[in-house]
Amino acid sequence: RIDGDRLWRTLMDLAKIGATPKGGLCRLALSDLDKEGRDLFVRWCEEAGCTVTVDEVGNIFARRPGRNPDRPAVCMGSHLDTQPTGGRFDGIYGVLAGLEVVRSFNDQGIETDAPIELIVWTNEEGARFSPPMLGSGVAMGVFTLDHVLDIRDNDGIRLGDELARIGYKGSVPVTGHAMGAYFEAHIEQGPVLESENIEIGVVTGAQGQRWYEATVTGRESHAGPTPMRLRRDALAGAAVMMEAVEAIALEVGGDACSTIGRVQVHPDSRNVIPGRIWFTIDLRNPDSDALARMDAMLRERLAAIADKRGLTLELTDFWAFPTTLFAPELVGHVRRSAEQRGLSHRDIVSGAGHDAVYVARKVPTAMIFIPCEGGLSHNEAENIKPEHAASGCAVLADAVLAAAG
Amino acid sequence: RIDGDRLWRTLMDLAKIGATPKGGLCRLALSDLDKEGRDLFVRWCEEAGCTVTVDEVGNIFARRPGRNPDRPAVCMGSHLDTQPTGGRFDGIYGVLAGLEVVRSFNDQGIETDAPIELIVWTNEEGARFSPPMLGSGVAMGVFTLDHVLDIRDNDGIRLGDELARIGYKGSVPVTGHAMGAYFEAHIEQGPVLESENIEIGVVTGAQGQRWYEATVTGRESHAGPTPMRLRRDALAGAAVMMEAVEAIALEVGGDACSTIGRVQVHPDSRNVIPGRIWFTIDLRNPDSDALARMDAMLRERLAAIADKRGLTLELTDFWAFPTTLFAPELVGHVRRSAEQRGLSHRDIVSGAGHDAVYVARKVPTAMIFIPCEGGLSHNEAENIKPEHAASGCAVLADAVLAAAG
Ligand SMILES: NC(=O)NCCC(=O)O
Ligand SMILES: NC(=O)NCCC(=O)O
């Protein structure tokens, strides 16, 4: 039994920190607001009797002891950072559902055999510091600590410096933390569960992603006296490339997605034909072969457009992870809980990357999805129903109990 | 007779202020570097015996008296501000060619009937503060002083505040300044003179321009779990619009030009489908009917793209001026000088806007073009030949003498 009202109140309390006029959140990783959110979370965990530690990359671990201190902890978690125009639930729901599990175990005097840990991973969004999933990535040996501490935001500020500044550069070694299992509850961030009127998504894995940076170089010249035929307009070329990127996902079809999220124009003056355009590309597909095909299409088509227009293209791989499968045994705990509680459910593949994707490389892992309104996320209007939040939290509690004994 | 070596040395001296590693200039209007350049110019003028005054929008007037103080001055001028990645000659050449005219008249003891004035117009480029040609625009009553003082740069800094800060908020009333004629020497900024191996462009007028701002609004959502068919991707739509803008100039043909110089993406995060794109559009044509046709095509096509994709388009007129004709009598002075000096010449229409375009609304006006390397301008590699600089300056001197008596 979990307390859905308390969970909702806790969500709404945390949603005050970084609230935007449009009802969303802007609480970028390692900002003052992130510190405020983290501090409140730590206080709640300590009030719930947990021991809180912080590792070298700012990941927070709140530990509830088990009967058997030698067993590796059964873990729950997600992230507290948001997109610049993010919602109140992406990441935060998973963390606070975990807190509600701890609180309700306390209320009911439930003891577990394995210790339980609630984890907040640093910089999951990849919005302020990119790529995403940095805290879990370092913990799982995907990135080195030094590399990640050296990543800079758009203003050139180092992640490591911000971590120290907000007081979350901990001393616990970031790798080698003992985890016996990991469960992450999350909003779906897509339309499937809502449109099928289903309460619980039993997440079997996550689709693969490939991220790129493209730099298109032409020749700056005057917007007036330069005849069209003599132009090497980097932006006109980049616009055609952007269309090609969209077309790749449409042609490959199925669940293929392609997105351009950032563009920079140089020199960015109204009457100068742009000499250089920089943009990001995000390709996704749950089918690895199809994702590889999208990668090949991207390289070929963008190069052809550059060639035809006398532009130079530099296309660099920025980040990628392959299609990920979660641990069948833990996925089974999630499915069984939904069944036993009479909640409608279906298997689903995550369209987003989550810390669970990196954790799954070393630790048996599963995720629980709940529906979100209109499938909307990475949007200030992101919303969920309190009863769905409660159902997902109850399933999380069951799954943790099943794993922790 | 003018001193071509002295003109070149003066150009190179001023090109030290704001020099970029790539050999160009970054001396944005009303920046510290603009102040430094203005100060040096004022010193040179005073050394040449001129009286220097500054008007309320920072336009600088250096006056060389004539025999007849009641005659309105015969004026020369251009601008000293540059694009962010600009060249050493755009604008600056016209100002310093004027200075060389004054110096050589002094050397030769030439007295004119009308006074002569050398003018530096504030913020011609429209790069830091937009639109272009603000100083001449206020002087000619195109814009009000208050409006222009209130224009802000990309960092929100007011033009009027910067003017005061660098000490160029003068007290001379900006309108009503008596001008009997105005000559502006300038680099062509296009490829015509060089490709035809011609030394002097006799500028008969300037093509019309229409500038716009477009804001495309879609819906922010997550780059992963949002299926392609449910997206309202403002950037994917804007990319198609950008292609359409290019196509308009290509279809209309002739001298039609279209350029997109600035783009802003919101929220500008790699894994967020952009919810809002802002970009600028610059359409030009020497033929007014064709320019009106381009305007109609733009409105129709962009609206259709927005419609088809479920996006909202806000297209606003930002700035425009119609095709401009210069004063035949003054254009005749320029043509005659080239003929008499045995310089190859041709009539030409300016592809760029110049302060002369606004001055021509109230004062008989003409321009002199000289070739530039590869027709390249608004580029750090912008270059001219010293002998062309000297020839253009000599023609300027002749034309001024012809008008000033
Ligand atoms: N859940 C989430 O927004 N993760 C960020 C990584 C991604 O874009 O998939
Ligand atoms: N000469 C020049 O670069 N003027 C700026 C106005 C324009 O873009 O035509």
pTM: predicted TM-score of the whole model, two decimal places = 0.95
Determine the pLDDT at residue A236.
98
* pLDDT tens profile B109-139: 999 999 999 999 999 999 999 999 999 999 9
A282 touches chain B (CB under 8 A): yes
CA of A87 vs chain B CAs: smallest distance (Å): 10
Q: Is B81 in the pocket of ligand 2 (CB under 6 A)?
A: no
Which token pair is B82? 């540059």
Q: Ligand 2 mean position to A271 CA, how many Å? A: 7
CA of A141 vs chain B CAs: smallest distance (Å): 23
Apex CA B151: angle with CA B148 and CA B154, to 5°?
150
CA of B3: how far to CAs of A125, A280, A352, B97, in Å?
64, 53, 69, 10
CA of B87 vs chain A CAs: smallest distance (Å): 10
B249 touches chain A (CB under 8 A): yes
C-alpha dihedral over A126, B215, B209, A232, to 10 degrees?
Answer: 30
Q: State whether residue A52 is helix, strand or coil.
A: strand
Region B316-339 average pLDDT: 98
* A228·B268 Cβ contact <8 A: no
* Ligand number, closest to the Cα atom of A257: 1
Q: Smallest Cα–Cα separation from B349: which of B184, B201, B136?
A: B201
Determine the pLDDT at residue A184.
98
Determine the pLDDT at residue B279.
98
Mutation test of the interface with chain A: which of B226, B305, B367, choosing the one with the most A Cβ atoms within 10 A?
B226
Q: What are phi and psi of B283, to 5 degrees?
A: -110, 140
* B239·A222 Cβ contact <8 A: no
* Ligand number, closest to the Cα atom of A354: 1
* A267 chain-B contacts, CB cut-off 8 A: 83-85
* B379·A351 Cβ contact <8 A: no
Please give all residues whose beta carbon lies within 6 A of any atom in ligand 1, as ranges: A 90, 124-126, 132, 189, 352-354; B 222-224, 271
B residues 188-247 near A, CB within 8 Å? 188-191, 207, 209, 211, 219-228, 230, 233, 235-236, 239-240, 242-243, 246
Q: Ligand 1 mean position to A132 CA, how many Å? A: 7
Residue type, B350: S
The bridge status of strand A221-222 relative to strand B60-64 is unpaired
Determine the pLDDT at residue A330.
98
Given a cut of 50, the residues of chain A with pLDDT beneath it are: none
Under a CB-based contact definition with an 8 Å cutoff, are residues B80 and B90 in contact?
no
For the CA of A125, the closest atom of ligand 1 is: 5
Which token pair is B358? 């606004």
Under a CB-based contact definition with an 8 Å cutoff, are residues A97 and A187 in contact?
no
The bridge status of strand A179-187 relative to strand A365-370 is parallel
* pLDDT tens profile A14-53: 999 999 999 999 999 999 999 999 999 999 999 999 999 9
Residue type, A307: D
Of A243, A249, A282, the CB nearest to B228: A249
pLDDT bin (cut points 50, 70, 90) of residue B285 is very high
Which token pair is B108? 């030769």
Under a CB-based contact definition with an 8 Å cutoff, are residues B65 and B115 in contact?
yes
* B268·A84 Cβ contact <8 A: yes
For the CA of B223, the closest atom of ligand 1 is: 8
Taking the C-alpha atoms of residue B260 and residue A240, their distance in angstroms, rounded to an integer, is: 13
Under a CB-based contact definition with an 8 Å cutoff, are residues B366 and B327 in contact?
yes
Ligand 2 pocket test, pick from B83, B85, B124 with the greatest ligand atom count within 8 Å of Cβ, gives: B124
Under a CB-based contact definition with an 8 Å cutoff, are residues B225 and B272 in contact?
no
* Torsion-angle region of A169 (φ positive above 0: left; ψ -120 to 50: alpha; else: beta): beta
* B271·A246 Cβ contact <8 A: no
* pLDDT tens profile A114-138: 999 999 999 999 999 999 999 999 9
Region B233-240 average pLDDT: 98
Percentage of chain B lying above the pLDDT 70 cut: 100
A391 touches chain B (CB under 8 A): no
Indicate the average pLDDT of chain B.
97
Region B168-183 average pLDDT: 96
Residue nearest to atom 4 of ligand 2 (CA): B353
Determine the pLDDT at residue A335.
98
A residues 336-355 near B, CB within 8 Å? 350-353
Indicate the average pLDDT of chain A.
97
Taking the C-alpha atoms of residue A179 and residue A194, their distance in angstroms, rounded to an integer, is: 33
